[in-house]
Structure 1
Amino acid sequence: MMMNLFSSFDPSSKWNMSVNWTSAYMGLMILPATFWVIPSRFNLLWTKISLTLHNEFKILIGEKTKGSTIMFASLFNLILFSNFIGLFPYIFTSSSHLTMTLSLALPLWLSFMLFGWINNTIHMFAHLVPQGTPPILMPFMVLIESISNIIRPGTLAIRLSANMIAGHLLLTLLGNSGPLLNFYLLNLLFMIQLLLLTLEMAVSIIQSYVFTVLSTLYSSEVNYEFP
């Protein structure tokens, strides 16, 4: 029995061990399929998705940082798998917890900032004042742009975790009302739950894509004028 509504998002287990965090690493189980002599349909589909992401991220990042698309495609795969595995019953959704989302967003943002300020300092200063800003508004724009850069890892982490929590919370609320309904309303609730589950699958894909694309755009900003 749940002590409160958000207890389903608590990363703890009845064995007094945090074994539910292993759901984030269950994707390693499908890795041996990539070494088959004849690839399966699932492997071909995943390769097609990875190549599509590579081509899109290459346009966003540019040709100056070769190999970076592998990192962002792997990040997309990790978040997508964590979102999808959390849709199964009794599996903890690791991407709905700030411990994981902030651990992904903060190192990326910090590495981008350090790389940009060390290797491309002039461009980073120029980026604080958008082109065409009136001189009287320049101090305010520097303050606003600095704050927006600082809160980027927080917005990335909260956006992903909040969207994953919202859908799971709605499914939990509707599921708890099932024993109080009659047969006809129970069938209606079942159909609504299926529709919400389909919507959650779409949200899982969209949120992993948004997180990765925003990280790619942040990377492209610090590499824009780097020779």
Structure 2
Amino acid sequence: MMSSLFSVFEPSSGILNLSLNWLSTFLGFLCLPYIYWVAPSRWSFLWGQIMSFLYMEFKLLLGTRYSSLSLFFVSLFGLIVFNNFFGLLPYVFTSSSHLVMTLTLSLPLWLTLMVYGWVNHTEHMFAHLVPQGTPTVLMPFMVVIETISNVIRPGTLAVRLAANMIAGHLLLTLLGGTGVGLGAVLLSFLVFCQILLLILESAVAVIQSYVFAVLSTLYASEVN
């Protein structure tokens, strides 16, 4: 039963043994011509306002010296939020619910920040391992704790995003599978619950994208 339940998250459709499910990652590019080449609309204006707000917030977190990185983190937010939203559509593969996708985003970013920080700001990176005001006796333990906390950051970023997307999709799948054989009253109640859960998942799609981008920005600000 569990194998059948989780099979909805497996790449299975394709042509000539080539998986096509991962192409859903690039569905967000379909919205770009509408935003940049069609006459402005309320949706494009709203998206522009959201991007401007995120850019200013990320710029504040990074500082003026590395404010250009804000564009990268805004683009990262856009990529994740498009994947999360398109994954809510029927028959669309949710790539952001797989660790292959989330680790591909978090691990290279974390490695780049670590290499840049240890090469260019070595003293700052060493000082960051011991918080200010730590007693001398606790310093070795704090170094170990901070090192472990730093090493698991890409894993926590990846697992947080994937787990939240999988949890909602699993609940939607479980509730949807119970609709067969129900009466009209129970079926109406089930549809109502599914709609509420879909609204909740839409909010989770935005929140998890925002959390991923903000935490990545905070990790980058610690290196500078």
The answer to whether the superposition gives a TM-score over 0.5 is yes
1:198 has 2:174 as partner = no
Spell out, residue by residue over 1:151-183, the C-alpha distance to the aligned partner (whole angstroms, 9 max, x if none).
000000000000000000000000111103211
Structure 1 stretch displaced more, 208-217 or 55-64:
55-64
Structure 1 stretch displaced more, 35-44 or 132-141:
35-44
Does structure 1 conserve the Cα–Cα contact (< 8 Å) formed by 2:61 and 2:217? yes
Residues in 2 aligned to 1:79 and 1:116: alpha-carbon distance in whole angstroms? 26
Residues in 2 aligned to 1:104 and 1:76: alpha-carbon distance in whole angstroms? 11
Residues in 2 aligned to 1:126 and 1:20: alpha-carbon distance in whole angstroms? 45
Whichever residue aligns with residue 218 of structure 2, its letter is L
Structure 1 stretch displaced more, 205-214 or 2-11:
2-11
The 4+ residue runs of structure 1 with deviation greater than 4 A are none
Q: CA RMSD, aligned part only?
A: 1.5
What secondary structure does 1:179 align onto? coil
What secondary structure does 1:178 align onto? coil
Cα gap change, 1:134 to 1:26, in 2 (>3 Å) = same
Cα gap change, 1:2 to 1:166, in 2 (>3 Å) = closer
Counting matched residue pairs gives 223
Residues in 1 aligned to 2:186 and 2:44: alpha-carbon distance in whole angstroms? 41
The TM-score with structure 1 as length reference comes to: 0.94
State the Cα distance separating 1:43 from its structure 2 match.
1.9
Aligned equivalent of 2:5: 5
The TM-score with structure 2 as length reference comes to: 0.96
Gaps of 5+ in 2: none
State the Cα distance separating 1:14 from its structure 2 match.
5.8
Alignment of structure 1 residues 155-174 onto 2, 5 Å: 155-174=156-175
Cα gap change, 1:193 to 1:63, in 2 (>3 Å) = same
Residues in 2 aligned to 1:141 and 1:76: alpha-carbon distance in whole angstroms? 32
Whichever residue aligns with residue 179 of structure 1, its letter is V
Whichever residue aligns with residue 6 of structure 2, its letter is F
Q: Percent identity?
A: 63
